[in-house]
Amino acid sequence: MSAQFPQYIPSPQENRHLFVNPAQRFLSLSAHKANSFARESVRAVERYTRAMPHRKEAYWAEVVERVKCAVSALFSIPLAALMLIPATTLYCLSACMGSGRFELVEEGNGKEKPRGKFIDVMSLNACLQHPWSPLTGGVEVHTKPIADCASRVEALARVIAGKNPDVFLGQEFEDLGAQTEMIQSLKEKGFHYFLRDLGSNDPIRNNSGLFVASKIPLREIDFVPYPSEDRAGLAKGSNQGALTFTVRVNEADLRLVNVHLNYGEGENNQAARNRQLKNHVIPLINNPHRNAAAFGDLNFDTSSVCRIESGFLETIGNALEGRTTCSDEGKHILRGKSRKPGGAACTDCDEKIDGLLFHKATGFKITSLQVKPVRRGNQLLTDHFAVTASIAPKRQFI
Provide the pLDDT for residue 237. Answer: 78
User: How would you class 60 by CB atoms within 10 Å of its CB: exposed for 0-12, middle for 13-18, buried for 19 or more?
Assistant: exposed
Quick one: average pLDDT of 290-311?
84
What percent of the chain shows pLDDT beyond 90?
45
The angle subtended at Cα 137 by Cα 135 and Cα 139, nearest 5°, is: 100
pLDDT confidence of residue 7:
47
Is pLDDT of 83 > 90? no
Q: Residues 104-129: what's their mean pLDDT?
A: 81
- Percent of the chain having pLDDT more than 70? 79
pLDDT exceeds cutoff 90 at 218? yes
Give per-residue pLDDT as tens, 152-167. Answer: 999 999 999 999 999 9
Return all residues near 68 (Cβ < 8 A) that are at least 6 apart.
none
Question: What is the pLDDT at residue 8?
Answer: 44
Check pLDDT > 70 for residue 204: no
Lowest mean pLDDT among 18-32, 198-212, 228-242, 330-344: 330-344
Question: 3-state class of 167 per DSSP?
Answer: strand
Amino acid at 5: F
What are the E-state strand segments in 153-268? Answer: 167-171, 193-197, 211-214, 219-225, 241-249, 252-260
| Choice among 66-80, 259-273, 308-322, 378-392 with the minimum mean pLDDT | 66-80
Q: Give me the chain's average pLDDT, please.
A: 83
State residue 12's pLDDT score: 44
Predicted pLDDT at 164: 94
> Where in the chain are the domains?
22-96, 101-392
Q: 87 or 198, which is more confident?
A: 198
Q: How far apart are CA 293 and CA 283, in angstroms?
A: 11
Which residues are paired to 295 by β-bridges?
258, 356
User: Are 365 and 391 a contacting pair, CB within 8 Å?
Assistant: yes
Mean per-residue pLDDT, 367-378: 93
Query: Length of the chain in residues, anyone?
Result: 398
Question: What single-letter amino acid sits at 105?
Answer: V
pLDDT over 80 at 81, yes or no: no
pLDDT on residue 205: 65
Is the confidence at residue 285, as pLDDT, over 70? yes
Query: Distance between CA atoms of 260 and 172, rounded to whole angstroms?
Result: 8
Question: Hey, is 253 helix, strand or coil?
Answer: strand
* Pairwise CA distance, residues 164 & 159, whole Å: 9
Most confident option among 37-41, 347-351, 361-365: 361-365
| Pairing of β 252-260 and β 292-297 | parallel
Lowest mean pLDDT among 139-143, 146-150, 250-254: 139-143
Cβ within 8 Å of residue 38, ≥6 positions away: 80, 81, 83, 84, 87
Residue in 295, 357, 310 with CA at minimum distance from that of residue 5: 310
Helices (H) and strands (E) in the chain, counts: 8, 15
Cα-based torsion angle of the residue sequence 202, 24, 211, 127 in order, rounded to the nearest 10 degrees: -60
- pLDDT higher than 90, residue 345: no
Q: Please say whether the beta carbons of 282 and 2 come within 8 A.
A: no
* Third-level CATH fold of 101-392: Deoxyribonuclease I; Chain A (3.60.10)
* Mean pLDDT, residues 357-373 taken together: 91
Amino acid at 269: N
**Which residues share a beta bridge with 103?**
196
Q: Averaged over 226-232, what is the pLDDT?
A: 92
- Give CA–CA dist 259/323, Å, rounded: 18
Average the pLDDT over each of 87-91, 307-311, 364-368 and give the range with the smallest value.
307-311
Query: What would the mean pLDDT of 69-73 be, rounded to a whole number?
Result: 69
Rounded to whole angstroms, the maximal C-alpha distance in the chain is 73
pLDDT, residue 65, reads 75
Q: Grade residue 244 by pLDDT with cuts at 50, 70 and 90.
A: very high
Judge contact between 127 and 383, C-beta under 8 A.
yes
92-96, 316-320, 339-343 — which is least confidently predicted?
339-343
Amino acid identity of residue 372, one-letter, is K
Closest CA to 382 of 223, 209, 183, 238: 209
Beta bridge partners of 315: none
Answer whether 163's CB lies under 8 Å from 170's CB: no
